[in-house]
Amino acid sequence: MRKMIAILLSLTVLLGILAGCGEKTPATSGDAQWLNIVMTADPATLDVQKTTFEYDIPLNIYDHLVEAVTVDGEPELIPGLAEKWEISEDGLVYTFHLREGVKFHNGEEFEADDVKFTIERMMNPENECVNTWFFDMIDGATEMWEGQSDEVSGVKVIDKYTVEITLDYAFGGFIANLSACPCAIYNREACEAAGEQFGVDPELTIGTGPFRAKEWTLNDKIVLETNPDYYRGASTLAGIVYKNIPDEETQRMEFEAGNIDIFFASNAISQVQYFLDSETWGDQVHAVREAGSYFYLPNLSMEPYNDINVRKAIASAIDRQMLLDTIYEGFGWVSNGMVVEGILGYNEDLKFLPYDPDAAKEYLAAAGYGPGELTIKCMMDMGTGTEYKMNIAIQAMLAEVGINMELQQVDDATYYQNRLDGTIPMERNCWWVDYNDPDNVLYSYFSRRAQESNSVGLDDEYVFETLEAARRETDPDARIKMYQDIEAHLLENVCFIPIFQPQLTVITQPNISNYVPAWNGWTSTNYYGVEKN
């Protein structure tokens, strides 16, 4: 989720951006070139244990035990920091043999203790991490999160380059799960020395990845430089410069001027059609379906969202096709669920409440509200991008059926604290899968564990128990059926309101080679292997 820092800084930001326009970034040495990318706002943090949104830069500065690469548009799992592994017959014990000689950016050697530290840092409740479900299937992880233990008992350092991870139950998606960005491996010494500045101060934000954080100038740019000691071999690039350019028209102009190398037009949706129609750029366009979607989350534990008729009224008042056509220029597909096409377990037979203002009024009356008597609140960030535009459009749609919608804009710190406290009334949210499994979507929002770090407010034993059972199910077909039943149940009870699944549209400069759109359609991309001629 993209956050703006302060309204009072807006003039300074604009002047800074305009001052930077037209400047080309020089290479540091020899023929090496800088890769120039747009970011639309500063990330909240580069610490992937404490954000569910800001993954672009972290994908380039951290590595994982297992990596997911894109081959012919599909994910393929390959060894990462773990050179190989064995799995016990009962599917509970994973023994990882780690690569020797891998160095963190601070010069520390990667060892098994760093794996144990990473997992326990995530599960330490004092750290208030928001991605704990990626490790909570490990034996002892829940106990540590709940304050019953000071370590995760299921993680054992066998020797310097061997770590054993024992699961609480057999989870077939565990290896794929480890390739997800939130499972990036951290260095104990670097994290403990950095404290709360880890992920904030670039010099203290340490990984093993192909690039290392070098500079962060707020409202201007973030600079990563190539890691010359990367274990797969140094990138041919000098580094990556993420330029803060919120304005969509300015992004296009900078790209056409040659100052941006890979242009994620999906972040500047008003410019997509221009490039599709262009004779100059037509051959440089990459378009793929994103394995994710936008949706609204009402807090099911708060009034009036705890009334299903209120939720049905909100859903029926929203014209999802109009939102897709106006907010996203039609580049996408109206969705009927959260497990959308491209994600394992997608159910094409799912149906959701259609746009029907008259039905919305009837649901309101059933909930005991007359025209203009119901006021709902929607929390959002300080920006004016897609989220803001979508909320403004829905605010108008709801007003037509007699629902007042107040928009509450908050800064980043307030948002995350309210999320942990479970006090967000309703919000527009989005999710692009970290690994190709329905568990990554549904468990992340609707499990019992997830309720401790988000504002969904679900209290449904059927969902909680079935999600846990699906994780333990070893029959692939039966497992998928369980997730599909859960999603259908959530939709029937309007526990979320699906909006649309976007199309990823990317345009590259002719001198860029080896760029491959991520299998899940992320704009967050690992640029290792991309070359600039």
Number of other residues whose CB lies within 10 A of the CB of residue 468: 16
Nearest to 447 by CA among 469, 432, 428: 469
Burial of 159 (0-12, 13-18, 19+ CB in 10 A): exposed
Q: Is 75 helix (H, G, I), strand (E, B) or coil?
A: strand
- Contact yes or no for 491/339 (Cβ under 8 A): no
List the chain pLDDT tens, one digit each, 533 residues: 333 223 233 333 333 333 334 444 443 434 679 999 999 889 999 999 999 878 999 999 999 999 999 998 888 999 999 999 999 999 999 999 999 999 999 999 999 999 999 999 999 999 999 899 899 999 999 999 999 999 999 999 999 999 999 999 999 889 999 999 999 999 999 999 999 999 999 999 999 999 999 999 999 999 999 999 999 999 999 999 999 999 889 999 999 999 999 999 888 888 889 898 888 898 899 999 999 999 999 999 999 999 999 999 999 999 999 999 999 999 999 999 999 999 999 999 999 999 999 999 999 999 999 999 999 999 998 877 788 999 999 999 999 999 999 999 998 889 888 988 999 999 999 999 988 999 999 999 999 988 988 899 999 999 999 999 999 888 899 999 999 999 999 999 999 999 999 999 999 999 999 999 998 988 899 999 999 99
* CA 491 – CA 3 distance, rounded (Å): 29
For the chain, how big is the Rg over CA atoms in Å?
23
Per DSSP (E only), the strands in 23-179 are: 34-39, 66-71, 74-79, 82-87, 93-98, 155-159, 162-166
pTM greater than 0.85 (yes/no) = no
* CA 8 – CA 407 distance, rounded (Å): 19
* CA 349 – CA 332 distance, rounded (Å): 18
Q: How far is CA 402 from CA 151, 164, 232, in A?
A: 53, 58, 59
Q: Which ranges constitute the DSSP H helices of 258-376? A: 272-276, 308-316, 320-327, 357-366
Residue 431 tokens, joined: 């999710």
Q: How far is CA 305 from CA 185, 301, 360, 400, 448, in A?
A: 39, 7, 14, 19, 19
Question: What values do phi and psi take at 39, rounded to 5?
Answer: -125, 145
Nearest to 316 by CA among 361, 348, 351, 375: 361
* CA 152 – CA 140 distance, rounded (Å): 5
Number of other residues whose CB lies within 10 A of the CB of residue 242: 21
Say which DSSP state 228 is in.
T
- Contact yes or no for 105/208 (Cβ under 8 A): yes
Residue 397 tokens, joined: 């749609």
